[in-house]
Amino acid sequence: MTLVLLFYSFELMAQNISYPLYIGNANPIKDEFGRNLVGAATMQIALCDRVEVFSTTNGIIYPPDVHGLPDPRNVVITNGITSIGNHTSMGLTNAGLFSLKLTDNKPLPGMKLFVRVFNAPTREAASFYGDSEVFSIGFDSVYQISITNMTALNPFDQDGDGLSDSWEKSLGTDLARLDSDGDGIDDGQEMRAGTDAMDADSKFVMAWVRVGAGRDAVIAWESVPDKRYQVSCSHNDLMSDPDFVNVSAVITATAPITEITVPDGLLNEEGHYRVRLVED
């Protein structure tokens, strides 16, 4: 008799779960550039970035293929496809938020789910995706997820320029050319420097060296705000593997042109200045 009563009690509990079930996020989901994913309640779904909810029987998230197709071990739940902006405030646009409401064929308690987002309205158009942590369905009606980083769908570098094919797709550069704009600087180097790989006039070059007060050297170059640089100098022949000595601290640019003064920088009759991009 005891076993029968316990079994009956469990069935009643399962039938009285609070529904509908909501899955959403409170913190904006950002794309590979650090911008909020695109979408709004007032926009056409075809223009909003894609959101998918998956089940995972073993609690493991398997990455999609280069076209965004899921691994067969992760299955999209019934009615589990939505978009950024869905069921959010009408006043929000491109806020990186979504809410999915499930009223039919809801996942049962104990099921393990995760959310996947894309940086485009379709898998085919996407270049990056992001996954939430796995969460288990219990007897709550609201489940809040977080996605903090995006991953390249296609990490391969077809042309060997230092950019993955996913980044080439995001930037609009040529997957088959090292130097898409023909300015002599590879696309990967341009991305590191923060210049536009599709604009031949946008490149990391020293603009000028001029005489300052006395024998001071004033050095200026085209910079990208928030990028870090350091100026060094050599008095050796450039053809003989010269030694460069830093003549400035690391400088964080705040404007499109950065200028520094090197005290007594022109005391020697010959010299070569170099501006180096400082990366972490």
Measured distance CA(143)–CA(187) in Å, rounded: 41
From the list 78, 85, 27, the residue with the least C-alpha distance to 54 is 78
HSE-CB for 122 with a 13 A CA cutoff: 4
User: Mind listing the pLDDT tens digit for each residue in 230-255?
Assistant: 999 888 888 888 889 998 999 999 99
Scan for tokens 């589990």, then name that residue: 80
Instruction: Using alpha carbons, list the distances in angstroms from residue 259 to 132, 194, 203, 210, 252.
Output: 44, 18, 17, 11, 11
Per residue in 138-165, is it b (16+ CB within 10 Å) or e — as a string? eeeeebebebeebebbbeebebebebbb
Q: Which pLDDT value is given to residue 266?
A: 64
Residue 247 CA to chain centroid, in angstroms? 34
pLDDT in tens, the chain (280 residues): 333 333 333 343 444 455 799 999 999 999 999 999 999 999 999 999 999 999 999 999 999 999 999 999 999 999 999 999 999 999 999 999 999 999 988 999 999 999 999 999 999 999 999 999 999 999 999 999 999 999 999 999 999 999 999 999 999 998 888 888 888 888 888 888 888 888 888 888 777 888 888 888 899 998 999 999 999 988 888 888 888 999 899 999 999 999 999 888 765 667 788 898 998 7
pLDDT number for residue 267: 59
Q: Which residues pair with residue 277 across a beta bridge?
A: 229
Question: What pLDDT shows up at residue 182?
Answer: 86
